[in-house]
Amino acid sequence: MKQYSIAIDGPAGCGKSTAAKEVAKRLSILYIDTGAMYRTVGLYCMEKGIDLQQQYAVERALEKMDMNVTLSHGMQKIFLNAEDVTEKIRTQEAGKAASAVAALLPVRQRLVEIQRSLAKGHSVIMDGRDIGTNVLPNATVKIYLNASVEQRTKRRCHELELLGKPWNEAQVRQQILQRDESDMNRAYNPLKKAKDAVEIDTSFMSREEVVLKILDIVKEKINKKETEV
C-alpha cells in the first residue's frame, strides 16, 4: 500500500510508546505520540497553577498555549511556548495531569485536530487511548496492547529510573490504577478496545517479541487489504 496507518491503544504502562517507536523505525514511517500532547497541556496548567477540574480555566489556558509538534526521522518532539518539553513531561505528576485534562472535551477536540493533521499525507503509527475508536477510526491496522497492573507498575518504575526521576512503587501502582479508572470512565472517547482491533497481552513478552508480533499483524493486514483491492 502507498499509505497506511497503524493505531495502537491501551492503558498506561503497557508498552505502547516503546513498541510504536520501534515499529516506526523498522517500517520507516512516522511515529506520533498523542499521550505526550496531553501531558504537555497538563504540564502547562500545573506550571500556571490552573485548576485542572475547571474546564473554563483550562480552555482559556489552551488559547495562551503554543504547542508545536515536530517530526524528524520518525521521532516526535514537543515544544511548549518555544521550550522543548519532550523529557520534562515524563513525570508522574504530568501523567496524572494529562489524565485530568484528557477528560475535557475542548482539550480533546483541539488535540485530535492536531493529531489528524499530522497523519495526513503520511504512513503513520499513532498510540494513545482512543486512536482506533476516535482519532483514526479508519486506520488500516488497529492494535490494543494490555498488561497486568503489576507488570505495568514495574515498567513505569524502570522508565522513571532511567530518566533519573524519583519514584515509589506503591505510589506508581496507585497512580496507574487511578489513570485506568479515569481513562476508561471519562465522558468523552474513553479508553476501550476497538471492535476490529487485535489485542496483545504484553505482560510476559519482551519488547522485541511485542514489536515482532505487531509487525506480523501489520504485514497480514496490509497484504489482506492489497488482495481485496
Do the Cβ atoms of 52 and 97 come closer than 8 Å?
Answer: yes
Does the pLDDT of residue 121 top 90, yes or no?
no
pLDDT per residue over 7-41, tens digit each?
999 998 899 989 999 999 999 998 988 889 999 99
Strand order in the sheet with 141-146: 30-33, 124-128, 5-9, 141-146, 198-201
Measured between alpha carbons, how far is 5 from 140 in angstroms, rounded to an integer? Answer: 5
CATH 3.40.50.300 fits 5-221, yes or no: yes
Does the pLDDT of residue 227 top 80, yes or no?
no
pLDDT per residue over 139-162, tens digit each?
999 999 999 999 999 999 998 888
Q: Which of 83-87, 132-136, 220-224 shows the lowest mean pLDDT across its residues? A: 220-224
Confidence of residue 1 (pLDDT cuts 50, 70, 90): low
The pLDDT value given to residue 199: 97
Q: Which of 32-36, 109-113, 222-226 shows the lowest mean pLDDT across its residues? A: 222-226
Do the Cβ atoms of 37 and 7 come closer than 8 Å?
Answer: no
Burial 118-141 (b: 16+ CB within 10 A, else e): bbeeebbbbbbbbbbbbbbeebbb
- Bigger pLDDT: 207 vs 72: 207
pLDDT per residue over 59-109, tens digit each?
999 989 998 888 776 677 899 999 999 989 988 889 889 989 988 999 999
Confidence of residue 229 (pLDDT cuts 50, 70, 90): low
pLDDT per residue over 178-188, tens digit each?
989 989 998 88
The pLDDT value given to residue 69: 84
Give mean pLDDT, residues 117-123: 86
The pLDDT value given to residue 107: 92
